[in-house]
Amino acid sequence: MDAMPRWIAALVVMLLLPVVGQAQPVLNIYNWSDYIDPYVVQRFTAETGIRVRYDVFDSLETLEGKLSAGRSGYDLVVPTSEPTFARLVRAGALRPLDRARIPNWANLDPALMARAAAVDPGNRHGAIYLWGTVGMGIRPDRVRVLAPDATMDGLALLLDPRHAQRLSRCGIQVMDSATDVIPSVLRHLGLDPNTDSAEDLRAAERALLAIRPFVRAILPSGSVLDALATGDVCLALTYSGDVIQASARAREAGRGVEVAYVAPRAGAQLWFDMLAIPADAPNPEAAEAFIDFVLRPPVMATITTHVRYPNAVPAARALVSEGVRNDPSVYPTEATLAASFVATTPSQATERLRTRLWSRFKAGR
């Protein structure tokens, strides 16, 4: 009677040993919310056997805070090139990529990668995931009714207090990102968007404070997207892809809400979101496998079709759904790209000035 339990126990141990020895590897990803096609993650796991734990953030400050503290536990993160990715590169917080493990690196657009190399010499620490511009999401029908004399191709629609006051009746929001808003305001004022001049920053502050009474809310970009999609606001300053997603959601809801994207005529801020690996990533090899996977043209095309942000893999464009690839709000025209600018990392002194400026704008004083 005693031998039987021991025999059963031994058999159980023998059966379990292969399972323990073949524990499924885990890839820990930290990305923006609403920024991938879930099918892509499922397909990666099915193809590689690597399970994905996928967390999301809604601001660069949240991401940077996690990584600056160290031991984040993430293997792959998606910081925007300026300022977060640039700061992480300089701080040694990112692991150089092993391109031998990323053969699909060759699919990346050399011209776009050259612009990203301004903050990452030699593109050693990151590959462009998606990119876009900063501009305005508008409800054209409401704008035409409330501000019929306003032009809808520039930031004057927001920054002219006369227009802002009238449009406040249907709701104005601004994304809570000094990094993206302040350079755009400076460019609209005819000033260097990367200026270190305290006088120039005071001019930007005056422009923002002049419209603050008419701004309903200053919120993370994801919240701005939701408000545009539901028609709760008729004007918002945010990322191009957020507006395009809001437009698609509004159409799907079928409630007669039309949302359009406007790239500022004076020049839109161009940004890149980078695929990067923290220096202390627990599983960097899995991260490089994922980077290589998403840089395949069909995979990148699936992502762009789903989230409506352009990617940096030229061969993917023909595979993107026709309505998305031919939309100039998604893929900017050559003229828009020529007028665009890339923000640079401000000095510490300028960063302090910007932080104080932004705090006063949010507080309204």
Count of domains for the chain: 2
pLDDT value for 4: 46
Its domain, for residue 142, covers 133-270+342-363
34 φψ region: left (φ > 0), alpha (ψ -120 to 50), beta (else): left
pLDDT value for 362: 96
pLDDT value for 22: 54
For residues 32 and 114, membership in a common domain is answered with yes
333: number of Cβ within 10 Å? 10
For residues 231 and 283, membership in a common domain is answered with no
For residues 191 and 214, membership in a common domain is answered with yes
Distance (Å, whole) CA 143 – CA 151: 10
Residues of the chain with pLDDT under 50: 1-21
For residues 100 and 13, membership in a common domain is answered with yes
For residues 65 and 163, membership in a common domain is answered with no
pLDDT value for 82: 83
* CATH classification of the domain holding 168: 3.40.190.10
For residues 77 and 98, membership in a common domain is answered with yes
For residues 280 and 266, membership in a common domain is answered with no
For residues 20 and 162, membership in a common domain is answered with no
pLDDT value for 83: 81
pLDDT value for 23: 66
pLDDT value for 13: 43
Residue 208 token pair: 């923002």
For residues 203 and 346, membership in a common domain is answered with yes
Each residue's pLDDT tens digit, 214-227: 999 999 888 899 99
Q: Is residue 304 part of a domain?
A: no
For residues 172 and 257, membership in a common domain is answered with yes
Task: Give yes or no for a contact between 317 and 57, defined as CB atoms under 8 angstroms apart.
Answer: no
